[in-house]
Chain A
Amino acid sequence: MKITVNEDENLQETEIIINCKVLDAAILKFLQVLREKQNVIMGIKEEKSYVIKDTDILYFESVDKKTFIYTHNEVYESTLKLYEVEKKFLNSHFFRASKSTVINISKIDVIKPILGGRLEVLLSNKERLIVSRQYVPILKEKLDY
């Protein structure tokens, strides 16, 4: 397999193009590895770094300018800002739910409207979070409401 890396300061985004005769098993495996890399995030806990898959994440929360990653059993700190998390997972199951949280839709069990045009979501770990009124349209769009 021939690999070419084109380094250009003017490029806005990193792009990988695969030119092949047939999309065989080896290339599919390679693509799978690449996709998995895209859907992970580094989390720090007790000075150790962990690779966390997006499918394990319930939500992200920003507290005192620090971003935390919540899974079923653990809480990790992320080096990314909340808006960077939002951008990274823009095309996945995550959505901005308030100024301080980004929630994984796939981990929501129940959605309940509450006073003030807000929503309360019950996550799979039985934790309840609020979707602010201004972010309800984003969830609606994701759900094709």
Chain B
Amino acid sequence: MKKLMIITNDIKAIISMFSVSILMTYGFVSFFTGNESIPLSLFWESLLLGILTGGLQFIMYNKKFLKNLSNNVRVILHYIIIFILLVMFIRVFNWVEIWKIKEWIFIAIYTVYFIQVCVAFAIYTKATGERFNERLISYKEKNDIRE
């Protein structure tokens, strides 16, 4: 039960992140396309996409699943699956029509966004990890802890 709560909480955070980012992106693009309102259907569609991508994220980066995959393969696979999901959503829900932009631009935005998130996370992980390990060494020196 406790594990289920933790998993649900993690998925919820990712769903919220995806849904909000889609709505924020729509708001940003609307500056250029001149849209003054957001269709209600887009809200539910983005929430559905959020649920799918949230569940996908949990599966892709949980070490209990796909144990033999390296991190690089996971990221590439993640990119491809989200790409397919996005294309499906674009086609099924006519997003290009709503967004008033060309399909390839939408895909390009997604690719740039995905790379940006990956790079940002890699930088964050490296910087935070280095800081933690520096503090760990200092702690050991301060308390005269030898290996």
**Residues of A near any B CB (own CB < 8 A):** 93, 99, 105-106, 108, 110-116, 119, 124, 142-145
Contact = CB atoms under 8 A, between A and B. Distances in A.
A113 B145 contact: no
Contacts of B128: 113
A114 B62 CA distance: 10
Given A106-B143, A142-B139, A99 B125 contact: no
B120 to A, nearest CB: 13
A99 B5 CA distance: 13
Nearest to A92: B143
Chain B interface helix/strand/loop/mixed: helix
A116 B143 CA distance: 30
B132 A93 contact: no
A106 B145 contact: yes
B138 interface: yes
B129 A111 contact: yes
Contacts, number: 40
Chain A interface helix/strand/loop/mixed: mixed
Nearest to B2: A99
A93 B125 CA distance: 25
A114 B122 CA distance: 10
B124 A143 contact: no
B131 interface: yes
A142 B140 CA distance: 11
Interface of B: 2, 10, 13, 61, 124-125, 128-129, 131-133, 135-136, 138-140, 143, 145, 147
Given A108-B136, A142-B139, A143-B135, 17 more contacts: A93-B145, A105-B136, A110-B133, A111-B136, A112-B125, A112-B129, A112-B132, A113-B124, A113-B128, A113-B132, A114-B125, A116-B13, A143-B139, A144-B135, A144-B138, A144-B139, A145-B131
Nearest to A144: B135
10 contacts: A93-B143, A99-B2, A105-B139, A106-B145, A108-B136, A113-B124, A116-B13, A119-B132, A124-B147, A145-B132
Contacts of A116: 10, 13
B139 A111 contact: no
Contact of A145 (B61, B124, B135): B135
A115 B17 CA distance: 14
A134 to B, nearest CB: 10
B147 to A, nearest CB: 7
A116 B10 CA distance: 7
A111 B13 contact: no
A115 B132 CA distance: 16
B117 to A, nearest CB: 12
B3 to A, nearest CB: 10
